[in-house]
Amino acid sequence: MNARFLPRTPVDLLLAAFVLWFGSDASDFLFTTHGLKPLYSYLAVIGFASLYAVAQGAAAQSLAILRDGGTRRFVIWLLLYIVYGVLIFLESSQSHTALQALVTLIEMVAIGMAFATLMVHPRRLHMLGGMFLLLALFATGMNLLDFIHPRFSNVPGRAAGLYINPNVAGYALALVMLCGMDSVPARLRWLFVLVCGVGVLVTFSRSAWIMWGVALIWLGRHDRTHGAKWKLAVMTLSALAGIGILLSLFSGELGELLAGTSFARYLDPNTLARMGVGGSSLSGDSAATRMDLVWFSLHEAAQSPLFGHGSGYVYEWAFPVGPHDMYLRFLVEGGVFGLAFYLALLVVLWRATSGLQRVLVLQLVIASFFSHNLLESPTIILVISFMLARQALEKRELAVARWLASPRVGVPA
**CA 73 and chain centroid, separation:** 19
Band of residue 413 on the pLDDT scale cut at 50, 70, 90: very low
Residues 219 and 235: their CA atoms lie apart, in Å, by 8
Residue 339 belongs to what H/E stretch?
Answer: helix 326-352
Which residues contact residue 337 at a Cβ distance below 8 angstroms, ignoring those fewer than 6 apart?
306, 307, 308
Band of residue 284 on the pLDDT scale cut at 50, 70, 90: very low
pLDDT tens for 289-308 read: 778 888 999 999 999 999 99
> What are the backbone dihedrals phi and psi of residue 407, each rounded to the nearest 5 degrees, phi first?
-65, -15
Residues 331 and 293: their CA atoms lie apart, in Å, by 13
pTM score of the predicted model? 0.85
Sign of the alpha-carbon dihedral angle for 343, 349, 353, 358: negative
pLDDT for 122: 78
Helix axes 10-23, 39-56, angle to 10 degrees: 150
pLDDT tens for 151-207 read: 998 888 889 999 999 999 999 999 999 999 988 988 888 899 999 999 998 998 888
pLDDT tens for 128-148 read: 999 999 999 999 999 999 998
**CA 341 and chain centroid, separation:** 19
pLDDT for 62: 47
pLDDT tens for 314-350 read: 999 988 888 989 999 999 999 999 999 999 999 999 9
pLDDT for 58: 47
pLDDT for 27: 87
Residue 402, pLDDT above cutoff 80: no
How far are the Cα atoms of 23, 68, 284 from residue 212, in angstroms, in the given order? Answer: 18, 29, 23
Q: What percent of the chain has pLDDT over 70?
A: 77
pLDDT for 119: 86
Q: Is 41 helix (H, G, I), strand (E, B) or coil?
A: helix
Instruction: Please provide the average confidence, as pLDDT, over all residues in the chain.
Output: 83
Angle, alpha carbons 232-238-240 (nearest 5°):
100
